[in-house]
């Protein structure tokens, strides 16, 4: 069974920490740090799960999420959204745009692992 994550995060320390954590758990993790071409990168990578930062250079995670949900082939892709701004308004916007799960930075390793496992399990049951 495929276990491929695409992590779209422009903060190198966070990207490396999540990549290390998930790789240790047996996931194949690709990283990308720019919002401008993120949708094309997702299409090419065909991941089982996307971890998407809200604040990205070029294009926001919210816009990327909306674009993904409008594309038939990506509409069901699980998306875990990360944000440093955990206001309820941001969470509401993400939920309206079709996010699978929303997580506020800073987060624990256990939180990330649990979210990724849950989303992957839900996606493989569909």
Q: Domain residue spans in the chain?
A: 4-125
Higher model confidence: residue 124 or residue 114? 114
For 18-63, what is each residue's pLDDT tens digit?
999 999 999 999 999 999 999 999 999 999 999 999 999 999 999 9
- Model confidence at 86, in pLDDT bands (50, 70, 90)? confident
Question: Which candidate, 70, 50, 71, 46, places its Cα nearest to that of 61?
Answer: 50
pLDDT at 84 (0 to 100): 85
Q: What fold is seen in the domain 4-125?
A: Rossmann fold (3.40.50)
């Amino acid at each position: 069974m495929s276990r491929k994550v695409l992590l779209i995060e422009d903060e190198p320390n966070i990207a490396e920490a999540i990549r290390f954590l998930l790789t240790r758990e047996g996931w194949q993790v690709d990283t990308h740090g720019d919002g401008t071409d993120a949708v094309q990168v997702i299409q090419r990578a065909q991941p089982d799960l996307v971890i998407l930062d809200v604040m990205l250079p070029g294009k926001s995670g919210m816009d990327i999420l909306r674009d993904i949900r409008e594309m038939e082939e990506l509409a069901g892709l699980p998306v875990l959204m990360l944000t440093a701004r955990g206001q309820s308004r941001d969470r509401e916007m993400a939920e309206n745009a079709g996010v699978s799960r929303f997580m506020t930075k800073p987060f624990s390793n256990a939180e990330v692992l649990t979210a990724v496992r849950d989303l992957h399990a839900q996606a493989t049951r569909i």
